[in-house]
Structure 1
Amino acid sequence: MNKGTRHDHLAWALAIILVGVSIGWMASSRHASALVQRGQSNIPPEPLTLPLIGDGKRGPQKMAWIPGQTFLMGTDSRLAQRNERPAFDVTTSGFWMDVHDVTNAEFERFVDATGYVTTAERPPRWEDLRVQLPPGTPAPRPEMLVPGAMVFVGTGAMVSLRDYSAWWRFVPGANWRHPQGPGSDLTGKENHPVVQVSYDDALAYATWVGKRLPTEAQWEVAARGGLTQADYTWGDAKRPDGKSMANVWDDNAHPFPVVDSPTIRVGTTPVGQFSPNGYGLYDMAGNVWQWVADWYRADEFAMQAKRRGRNVDPSGPTSSFDPDDGSTPVDAPKRVTRGGSFLCSDTYCSGYRTSARRGTDPANPMSHIGFRLVMTSADWAGKAGRKGPGTE
């Protein structure tokens, strides 16, 4: 292999890594129990009339109450991928969840207040890239490590769906303020979900606002909206009465990933544009993938189903395992992302189903990944003695 070929190969390897994959809850629960015993609980009484949305006085503002329950996590549906199987019992304590994804306007307030610099605005770190590459891969030259992020660019014609390099590009200068790269901005998109944020960026925002990323179990019980084993967050019919329920790829309008006309609009929509689920949560399917707290293991559900005893408020595995992604080592660090995005096409990705899950490089900002946050009852109870439903 000549020098130029090696350079091209390494540059593409870095881009592949930036693409990522194929495209203390128990302590808080104990704290909440102690508050109940002392008569200081912010846990709403159940049963409740749902959805219950906090107003800043009786519950955190713009957060929906997700009641404690035992539910079937995962699925045995014929639509399921192997990493979603089998369905198994999980018990979750009640908690609050943002009714919508964190928006550009909300994230901008955080950055303005703290001066935070996101992952995409900094040069990539070789130590983050190295763990996603085969052992022995040489380090790139420093000038190759430039700030930027992965951007969906689409194609002008049908292509093999096995090669996602055809519709993704690493764009220097792409970040949350410029999600498509230099020349793009957030004008008119203040109420769209923030994208081009890494796992660490989501954690930094969560710390600032006094919330947390949801565990995978919390995310799924919330997404189900009180339904049992439904394929989608709204039920089993993908388009009930012909109605579009989420911002996902419209295969009838144009095949994935073709964007061969200026009239084709592919991207995020404002939060709350589609109907909420039974708990009052918007966009738990489509629009943007959502970071959750857990490490990703492809076999996690199978392992949990074999556990003896009750599975209460699980916080996920302690490491990653993904034998299905041939572009990275099987133990490369990955966090779970959930919910699917505007790029989910049934010909390629049905990630907007309620049980669908994938692992994503936590240092990999992309133009279709965002996040939303949660609070435990104990978190809310600890905020200046504020009261919730049933505590007055």
Structure 2
Amino acid sequence: MTKDTKQGSCCSPARRAGADAPPAAPIVTCGSRIPEDALRIPGGRSLTGTNHPEILHDGEDPFRNTRVTPFRIGATTVTNAQFAAFIRDTNYLTEAERFGWSFVFWMQVPEALGPTLGVKDVEWWRRVDGANWRDINGPGTMETAWRPDHPVVHVSWNDAQAYAKWAGGRLPTEIEWEHAARGGLGDVRFPWGDREPDDATFQPCNIWQGDFPKTNSAKDGFVTTAPARHYEPNGYGLYNVVGNVWEWTADAYRIKSLKKHVRQRLAAMKGYKLSKGGSFLCHASYCYRYRIAARSGTSPDSTTTHQGFRVVWSE
């Protein structure tokens, strides 16, 4: 049974700010900065998608066989410490900083900030002035919310592209991302196999437990992000491939469909980029997108408390 009728979007809302952020300074590639723990992913036969989609009209199907060349990929999503090194080296200003605000999940907004503006139909997303990759939950929250070993958040697709260029790499394609996420297991739903996470006894990744968006029991140990290197890695050694934070890919968000309402939705998402993996806000009852084949489209300037990325390097 598909869960399409129950699937809303805990994913990233679009800014719709009406104006572009001031331009960022250009980033110059200064050689390759492949981290010591980058993993070599073997090439060959690669599996993408599924013939058993759970969320209709997300483009999860069909299941297809492709081929991929070997590449290297970060064992983790880019961490705050790694992103801070990039900022020190380049003086780059993220889009959240240039816009002057970003989206924060309602539970993370400090009461001291006072009233915030919600997003229509997804009121749990709040516009918070001064929120960015340092001050994750709003002005003055770096000391309480920022951790060097956690994934960097409040990064747009454009920010992720800039970091990847600086690191001498790039963002993964969807095919590369799924190939790495499967960890050599083949046609499986999750990086560890097919066993479903639940709210009681099995929490192999950082997702929501409880009644979204009201109550999170944090049975997995985390209300928001977990350290980037946490839980058991998959067969290739990747950590937190699903859950924790959404991961930007290099690809545009596209769906092949002849249905009018799908084409109309896609027309409103022109220019959106593809994200994979789900986040700490996903739950089977609402946003069942922490499966390998699941996918989401996000505006390239969108920044939130649950969006990150990892880098690949071609061989």
**Structure 1 length as normaliser, TM-score?**
0.64
- Counterpart for residue 96 of structure 1: 72
Alignment RMSD (CA, Å): 3.1
In 1, the alpha carbon distance for the partners of 2:107 and 2:238 equals 30
For structure 1, which segment, 258-267 or 284-293, has the greater mean C-alpha deviation from structure 2 after superposition?
Answer: 258-267
Where 2:122 maps in the other structure, the secondary structure is: helix
Give the one of 298, 311, 314 matched to 1:373.
311
- Counterpart for residue 246 of structure 1: 205
Give the one of 78, 101, 110 matched to 1:148.
101
Matched, 1:258 2:217: no
- Counterpart for residue 50 of structure 1: none
Q: Specify which structure has the higher proportion of strand.
A: 2
Aligned residues: 274
- Counterpart for residue 275 of structure 2: 337
Alpha-carbon distance change, 179 to 225 in structure 1, aligned in 2, over 3 angstroms:
same
The 8 Å contact of residues 191 and 242 in structure 2, kept in 1 or not, is answered as yes
In 2, the alpha carbon distance for the partners of 1:281 and 1:213 equals 15
Alpha-carbon distance change, 237 to 287 in structure 1, aligned in 2, over 3 angstroms:
same
Where 1:18 maps in the other structure, the secondary structure is: coil
The 8 Å contact of residues 216 and 223 in structure 2, kept in 1 or not, is answered as no
Q: CA offset at residue 209 of structure 1?
A: 1.3
In 1, the alpha carbon distance for the partners of 2:261 and 2:143 equals 35
Q: Choose 1 or 2 for highest CA Rg.
A: 1
Alpha-carbon distance change, 94 to 16 in structure 1, aligned in 2, over 3 angstroms:
closer
In 1, the alpha carbon distance for the partners of 2:178 and 2:218 equals 36
Matched, 1:65 2:40: yes
Q: Specify which structure has the higher proportion of helix.
A: 1
Where 1:91 maps in the other structure, the secondary structure is: strand
* 1:47-86 correspondence to structure 2 within 5 Å: 61-77=36-52, 79-82=54-57, 83-86=59-62
Q: CA offset at residue 175 of structure 1?
A: 0.6
The 8 Å contact of residues 253 and 274 in structure 2, kept in 1 or not, is answered as yes
- Counterpart for residue 161 of structure 2: 203
Matched, 1:295 2:252: yes
- Counterpart for residue 352 of structure 1: 290
Runs of 4+ displaced beyond 6 Å: 260-264
The 8 Å contact of residues 322 and 331 in structure 1, kept in 2 or not, is answered as no
Matched, 1:113 2:66: no
The 8 Å contact of residues 298 and 322 in structure 1, kept in 2 or not, is answered as no
The 8 Å contact of residues 119 and 198 in structure 1, kept in 2 or not, is answered as yes
Q: CA offset at residue 279 of structure 1?
A: 0.3
Q: Deviations over 1:188-244 (max 9, x none)?
A: 611000000001111111111111111111001000111122111110002499331
Q: CA offset at residue 120 of structure 1?
A: 0.4
In 2, the alpha carbon distance for the partners of 1:298 and 1:173 equals 35
The 8 Å contact of residues 191 and 271 in structure 1, kept in 2 or not, is answered as yes
Identity across the alignment (%): 40
* 1:12-23 correspondence to structure 2 within 5 Å: 17-18=14-15
**Structure 2 length as normaliser, TM-score?**
0.79
Which runs of 5 or more residues in structure 2 are unaligned?
1-11, 18-32, 109-118
Q: Which letter does structure 1 place at the counterpart of 2:14?
A: I
Alpha-carbon distance change, 216 to 363 in structure 1, aligned in 2, over 3 angstroms:
same
Which runs of 5 or more residues in structure 1 are unaligned?
1-14, 21-55, 124-146, 156-161, 304-320, 378-392
Where 1:151 maps in the other structure, the secondary structure is: strand
The 8 Å contact of residues 154 and 259 in structure 1, kept in 2 or not, is answered as no
In 2, the alpha carbon distance for the partners of 1:260 and 1:246 equals 14
Give the one of 170, 190, 195 matched to 1:212.
170
Q: Which letter does structure 2 place at the counterpart of 1:95?
A: F
In 1, the alpha carbon distance for the partners of 2:272 and 2:134 equals 25
In 2, the alpha carbon distance for the partners of 1:338 and 1:322 equals 23
